[in-house]
Structure 1
């Protein structure tokens, strides 16, 4: 496995290449498990309907197109509800990288051939079951934040992350996975709560990256999700 700083440099370089080549429209092929436990193959990409590519980009169309412009096809319209939450800073920790959509795609592409990498949805299971990023593993944040109340779930998650228990009861982080964690959006603190809990138990910060935009930014960008 590559050292974390080299891995990030590789992913950053990959993201730059992706941006230049329009790779977000070609996508990354991943395997995901649906709510019924069935495994299926999904191409994760920007799902922009062909008719939307002909829509003009201007203030009236983009920002009020849902209501004011009858020429915009229904397939091109999206509506998201504004809700409570607290906007989070770009950087959580000096050793934790903050990702955008292309960095997540680059990570997912490398992850397909590297089982030491894991994309984690830190939201509660009902949110994960409703809609998530294909290929993401669900590890609810409260299993980490409230680990004394969810001892079984916490220990199971640690095992999935490659954390081992030493004979003296302390944790061995020498072979942990490199992870990217996300939740609902830049106003959602669930992924942050999970990251803070991981840092509290000694998980190496350099092994953690954070997709700040989460599902909100993912969907606004027109990216593939598990909900068809």
Structure 2
């Protein structure tokens, strides 16, 4: 009996995993609004150029960056920038907050297309968001949450967009209809998403409605996934 139950659960889990993995190649149509108010559809997927399909993976190429030895075409390379400007963060920053990888973000984006209670949020400053972001993400800079007394108008607008009501008499916040959100910034070393999440927790935003894409733009691009910059 236990064996049959175990195999059923294993089969179900395998089917879910297979379905989720398919997102990266199938592509997800994402609707965004351009500067003129027109709907623009972008297909979000993992874009692997044809020239990259038959490249053998070697230790020298993978671990030393010796692409010339392996004759790796430029179109197949990704860049990882090393910097002292941030810290590597743990996989979990709160027991009630789910940490996402790329496939979970893709699944979130797909569901978000038909569920307006879900929002993907880029918490980088506007110039980074404008330069490049994940299609479908909205910009809510981290400092609008961290320094909310200095960004009163922006903070109140973000709360409204997140389904949080503000009492006009005592400025208390009602999270009854708070939306489920996924936040990200520039990479696993970037502190901005962590700062925004901690600020949201500080004001009482439900932790169970917050997801964190730890990898951010750096790992998104390293995986060859669609961004808003061509």
Give TM-score, length-normalised by structure 2.
0.87
1:17 equivalent to 2:18? Answer yes
- Report the more deviating stretch, 71-80 or 156-165: 71-80
Match of 1:186 among 185, 188, 203: 188
- Whether the 8 Å contact between 2:46 and 2:224 is mirrored in structure 1 is yes
Gap change, CA 1:176 and 1:14, over 3 Å in 2 = farther
1:112 equivalent to 2:103? Answer no
Where does 1:152-191 land on structure 2 (aligned, <5 Å)? Answer: 152-166=153-167, 167-191=169-193
**CA–CA distance in structure 1, aligned partners of residues 170 and 210 of structure 2:** 25
- Report the more deviating stretch, 22-31 or 154-163: 22-31
Gap change, CA 1:171 and 1:27, over 3 Å in 2 = same
5+ unaligned residues in a row in structure 2: which ranges? 1-12
- Whether the 8 Å contact between 1:66 and 1:79 is mirrored in structure 2 is no
**CA–CA distance in structure 2, aligned partners of residues 139 and 79 of structure 1:** 26
**CA–CA distance in structure 1, aligned partners of residues 61 and 35 of structure 2:** 36
Where does 1:1-228 land on structure 2 (aligned, <5 Å)? Answer: 16-20=17-21, 22-33=22-33, 39-65=39-65, 67-69=67-69, 71-84=71-84, 85-166=86-167, 167-228=169-230
What number of residue pairs does the alignment pair up? 216
5+ unaligned residues in a row in structure 1: which ranges? 1-11
Aligned twin of 1:3: none
Deviation, structure 1 residue 58: 1.5
Deviation, structure 1 residue 78: 2.4
Gap change, CA 1:128 and 1:175, over 3 Å in 2 = same
- Whether the 8 Å contact between 2:60 and 2:66 is mirrored in structure 1 is no
**CA–CA distance in structure 1, aligned partners of residues 162 and 15 of structure 2:** 25
Give TM-score, length-normalised by structure 1.
0.88
Gap change, CA 1:48 and 1:107, over 3 Å in 2 = same
